[in-house]
Amino acid sequence: MELSEKIKILSDAAKYDVSCSSSGSNRKNKKNGMGNASISGICHSWSEDGRCISLLKVLFTNHCIYNCNYCINARSVDSKRASFTVDEVVDLTINFYKRNYIEGLFLSSGIFKSCDYTMEKLIEVAKKLRTEKNFNGYIHMKAIPGASEDLIKELGRYVDRMSINIELPTEESLALLAPEKSIDEITKPMDLVSKTLFMNGLEKKSRSRKNLFLPAGQTTQMIVGAGNIHDIDVITRSQMLYDDYSLKRVYYSSYVPVRENSNLPNISTPLIREHRIYQADFLMRFYGFNSRDLLSHEKKDFDLNLDPKMDWAIDNFTNPVEINKASLDELLKVPGFGPKAARKIVKARRAFPLKFEDLKKLRISTKRAVNFITVSGKYYGRKFDTRDTLRSIILDRESSEQLSFLEWKILWFMYTMEVLKVF
């Protein structure tokens, strides 16, 4: 098979994996080397359709011994199969880098022959890039659940980030859709990576040396909407992964039907649902929320019409928060206030009691917060008597804003068309 055809098949097969962010690595170029995966991330290019592209993102092979019901690369799927050699991946990476097409490599793989054999091939690629080609750019590779601990540790010495995809949040969903996998099998290498990172961090402090084991940490991915899975299942699992294994990120991917199966929906999951889960994820990582705060067994899914923070604020509203007295944690839970705005408020009020006009001077938007705060004891929002009334006020405002935005986009498009006519 021609190399160009392999690239076409294996890059297309890799498009469903979204856990390939590159930020956080501090690997820098060395003398006579090439590439640089600095802490600021990597350079980006853009495709014709506007997608941001910076990594060579391919599978080593789309052959797989597993038969996951949601996967296009499952062994029972009648699709064209291909495999790279180690040298082909290495040469592609170096040649694409030299042409300024990419700044790094994202390499995953179907599992062929065995977990250990697949891991050995990925290690060969990483090792050859680092030691023979002197490539110091960003490398993100997938660890294979079920591979030996020694192989996982070895891979971690050559790559910047490692991801182990959990795909589904519960044992029940895995048993139904990926019966050859288990949560324990997937989280075992996560635990190993987490403990190794911790021990390397201690050694780095005691010996004043660089931590060369996974400087950009580990990530995972979950599918949203595959089977009878609720949002609470997804964010509860994410919370556990962050707490237990110190993951840098959990990525989410809306389910796309790629094969027929009675246990799976025949339509794609709306992207707004994926968006709401991403918003909830940020609330858990940066705003002091817990998964139990956001959803419950009585309310298992997010309201698609409201962002999770606003939804939580309405459901838990008792009295407006006085910004001159509220703690940082309380301010972070006010809709419209992010970490930066909350810290600005805390810092400014040390000098003098804040007034409503002061928030504007501090460039803090109050549009979404106004119904949930008082400023020097005064309430500036619309009056309401019940939470249902508050919800209606918020929904009316946000729906009108969305309409206004759509109208603006239409007007801008019409204006652009008129301008183009001139030329």
**Longest Cα pair distance anywhere in the chain, in angstroms?**
74
Report the sign of the C-alpha dihedral through residues 317, 280, 40, 158, in that order.
positive
Residue 229: pLDDT band with limits 50, 70, 90: very high
Residue type, 278: Y
**Mean pLDDT along residues 349-363:** 95
Query: Is there a contact between 24 and 217 (Cβ–Cβ < 8 Å)?
Result: yes
Least confident of 27-36, 59-68, 279-288, 396-405: 27-36
**CATH number, domain 3-294, options 3.40.50.300, 3.40.50.2000, 2.40.100.10, 3.20.20.70:** 3.20.20.70
DSSP 128: I
Query: Would you call 220 helix, strand, or coil by DSSP?
Result: strand
Residue 138: pLDDT band with limits 50, 70, 90: confident
Q: Distance between CA atoms of 35 and 14, rounded to whole angstroms?
A: 23
More confident residue, 210 or 394: 394
What average pLDDT does the structure give for the chain? 86
- Give the burial class of 319: count Cβ atoms within 10 A of its Cβ; 0-12 exposed, 13-18 middle, 19 or more buried: exposed
pLDDT of residue 319: 94
Query: Would you call 282 helix, strand, or coil by DSSP?
Result: helix
pTM here? 0.84
Distances (CA, A) of 421 to 150, 296, 413, 415, 416: 64, 55, 13, 10, 9
Other CB atoms within 10 A of residue 154 CB:
16
Query: Would you call 14 helix, strand, or coil by DSSP?
Result: coil
pLDDT of residue 207: 55
Parallel, antiparallel or unpaired: strands 378-379 and 373-375: antiparallel
pLDDT of residue 413: 53
* DSSP alpha helix (H) spans, 287-307: 291-294
Closest CA to 220 of 307, 272, 281, 158: 281
Other CB atoms within 10 A of residue 395 CB:
15
**φ/ψ (deg, to 5) at 123:** -65, -40
Is the pLDDT reported for residue 49 higher than 60?
Answer: no
Is the pLDDT reported for residue 393 higher than 80?
Answer: yes
Residue 14: pLDDT band with limits 50, 70, 90: confident
Closest CA to 170 of 181, 159, 162, 160: 181
What percentage of residues in the chain have a pLDDT greater than 70? 83
Query: Is there a contact between 110 and 82 (Cβ–Cβ < 8 Å)?
Result: no
Residue 104: pLDDT band with limits 50, 70, 90: confident
Give span(s): CATH 3.20.20.70, the chain: 3-294
